Amino acid sequence: MAQLESLNFDNSYVQFPAGFYQRIEPTPLRDPFLIAFNPAVAGLLDLDPCSVQPKKLAQYLGGHKPLPGSEPLAMKYTGHQFGVYNPELGDGRGLLLGEVLNQQGERWDLHLKGAGRTAFSRFGDGRAVLRSSIREYLVSEAMHGLGIPTTRALALVGSEERVMRDGMMEPCAALLRVTQCHIRFGHFEYFYYSRQHDQLQLLADYCLQRFFADCLEQEQPYLAMFQEVVRRSARLVAKWQAYGFVHAVLNTDNMSLIGETFDYGPYSFMDSYKPDTISNHNDHQGRYAFARQPAIVQWNLSCLAQALLPLIDKEDLIAALDSFPALYETAELQEFRNRLGLQQVAEDDAVLVKELQQLFAQQALDMNRFFRKLSDFDGSEQSLTDLMALCCSPEQLTPWLLKYEQRLLQEAASQPIRRAQMRAVNPEFILRNYMAEEAIRSATEGDFTLVHSLTDLLRKPMQENPDFAHYAEAPPEWAGGICLTCSS
C-alpha cells in the first residue's frame, strides 16, 4: 500500500498536444481543512488510509502543495447546454491532477473540483462551495451503494474562504473526484466543430485503447466503441428511471463516455413519483424532467454521433442510435423485474410494470418506500395494510396487487427467498434532498457529524439501521420547499 507521496502516477492525458488542455496549478484555498475521507476509494488507488495525515491531505487538495507525481491540467471540451451548442466550455473550476495506476492495472483519474480559475472559467470564480461539494460527496456514495455506475470521491476539504452564490456568501470547498474516465461527449464535439479532425481521431484512438480495448478486435473499432457507449448509456438511464433519480442537467458536457453518472448538480431522488418532476429550478422549459431523461440521453448520443461522422459512416451511426429505445426498454424492464422479485421472464411483465408506473403517477407514490414495503408483502393483512398506507386512494392498488400475486405463482423461489432477493435491491434508505440539506446546515455551522453518518448509512442502503430509522419514513413537509439550482 502506498502513501500520498508515493502514489503510482502514470499520466497519459498530459501527453496529448497542448490544444487538448491548459497546464495550470490549483489556486490555494484559504486555511483548508479535511472534512471527509473515503477509505474504500483509497483502496482503489492502493493508498493506505491509515497513513493519510489530515492536515497534509488538506494542504495538497487545498492547493498549497503539489501532490507528488501529479501534473495538473484543465481539459478543453465543448457541448450542448439545454440544447444549444456552447463552444466556450472546459474545466472551469476543476483540474485533472493525473492518473494513478494500481496493482490490478486499473487507471484512475484524480480530479480536483474547486481548484480555482482556468482559461475556461469564463465569468466564474473557479471555486466549488461547501453546499454543492457535500451533495456530490454524499450522492456518489449513495449511487454506488445502489449499484448505479457513478464517479466517486476520495476526500472533501473545507475552507475559510467564501464566494458569492445566489446572492449569498458561502464557504468554499474542494472535492477530489475519482473515476476511470473524465472524457465527455463534449470532448469529441470540440474537435468536430472546430474542424480538428486529426485531433478527433487521436482522441478516439486514445479512448479505444484505454476504455474500449475489446473494440479494437472488431472490424470497425470506432463503430464498435460508439455502439458500446450507446449500450452503457441505455443501461445507466434505465437505472435512473428505476430508482426515481433526476439528474437535472443532462447537457452533453455532463455525459460520461463510459456510462457513469457524472457532474452532479441539482439532482434529486423523487419523494413522490411525478413524471414531470424538474429538479433544477433553472430548467424553465422542463427539458430535463424525469420522464424525458431517456429521450434526452438518446439526443445526447446523437450529438456524439454527429461528432464522430469523420470516423464512422452515417448510416452505421443512425443504426446504432436507432437501437437505443429497445436497449433502454430491455434494461428498464429488467431493473423493475429485479425490484419486483421476478427472477423468471414472463410475456406480460412489461404490462405489469407499465401499470405499476401508472399507479405510481396516479397516486404520486413514494416509489422507493413502496418497493421496500413490497419486499415484505406476503399476502398477510398486516403487509397489505403497510402497502395501502402509502396510497392516497388505496382501492386503486388492489387490481395491480392481484395481478402481481398471480405473477408470483410463476416464480420458483419461496417468499422468504424472494424477500431476501428484493431487499438486496430495494433500499431502506435513499438520499433525499432534505437529508442532504440537514447535513449542509450542520456543516455550515461547523458540525460535520451528519455528513459522516449519512455517508456510512448510504454506503449500505439495503441494511436496516435503527439509529436512523426516521430516514426510512416519509420526508417532512418542509422537504418539498427545497429549491435547487445549477449552483447546487
| CB-based burial label for 472 (10 Å; 0-12, 13-18, 19+) | middle
Q: How far apart are the first and last CA of the chain?
A: 36
Question: pLDDT band at 485, cuts 50/70/90?
Answer: confident
Quickly state the pLDDT bin for 482 (edges 50, 70, 90): confident
Could you tell me the pLDDT band of residue 483, with boundaries at 50, 70 and 90?
confident
The pLDDT of residue 480 is: 85
- Phi, psi torsion values for 156, nearest 5 degrees: -125, 130
Confidence of residue 50 (pLDDT cuts 50, 70, 90): very high
Cell of 80: 450542448
CA distances from 206 to 20, 38, 202, 306 (A): 13, 30, 6, 19
pLDDT digits (tens, 9 = 90+) for 177-203: 999 999 999 999 999 999 999 999 999
> How high does pLDDT run on average in the chain?
97
Residue range 97-115: mean pLDDT, rounded: 98
* Listed residue (198, 199, 226) closest to 212, CA to CA: 226
* DSSP bridge partners of 94: 113
pLDDT over 90 (residue 166): no
Residue range 209-231: mean pLDDT, rounded: 98
Compute the average pLDDT of residues 157-167.
Answer: 95
Q: pLDDT at position 71, please?
A: 98
Can you give the pLDDT at residue 488? 64
Pairing of strands 168-179, 128-129: antiparallel
**Cβ atoms of residues 133 and 451 within 8 Å:** no
**Which three-class secondary structure string do you get for the chain?**
CECHHHCCECCCHHHCCHHHEEECCCCCCCCCEEEEECHHHHHHCCECHHHCCHHHHHHHHCCCCCCCCCCCEEEECCEEECCEEECCCECCCEEEEEEEECCCCCEEEEEEECCCCCCCCCCCCCCEEHHHHHHHHHHHHHHHHHCCCECEEEEEEEEEEEEEECCEEEEEEEEEEEECCCCEHHHHHHHHHCCCHHHHHHHHHHHHHHHCHHHHHCCCHHHHHHHHHHHHHHHHHHHHHHHCEECCCCCHHHCECCCCECCCCCCEECCCCCCCCCCCCCCCCCCCCHHHHHHHHHHHHHHHHHHCCCCCCHHHHHHHHHCHHHHHHHHHHHHHHHHHCCCCCCCCHHHHHHHHHHHHHHHCCCHHHHHHHHHCCCCCHHHHHHHHCCCCCHHHHHHHHHHHHHHHCCCCCCHHHHHHHHHCCCCCCCCCHHHHHHHHHHHHCCCCHHHHHHHHHHHCCCCCCHHHHHHHCCCCHHHHHCCCCCCC
Are 120 and 133 a contacting pair, CB within 8 Å? no
Statement: residue 146 has pLDDT above 80: yes
Residue range 248-285, pLDDT digits in tens: 999 999 999 999 999 999 999 999 999 999 999 999 99
pLDDT in tens, 337-369: 999 999 999 999 999 999 999 999 999 999 999
> Which residues are part of the catalytic machinery?
253
Cβ atoms of residues 369 and 276 within 8 Å: no
State pTM to two decimals: 0.97
Query: Which region among 73-77, 309-313, 383-387, 452-456 has the lowest average model confidence (pLDDT)?
Result: 383-387
Whether residue 226 is predicted with pLDDT greater than 70 in this model: the reply is yes
The answer to whether residue 374 scores a pLDDT higher than 70 is yes
Percent of the residues in the chain that have a pLDDT greater than 90, as a whole number:
96
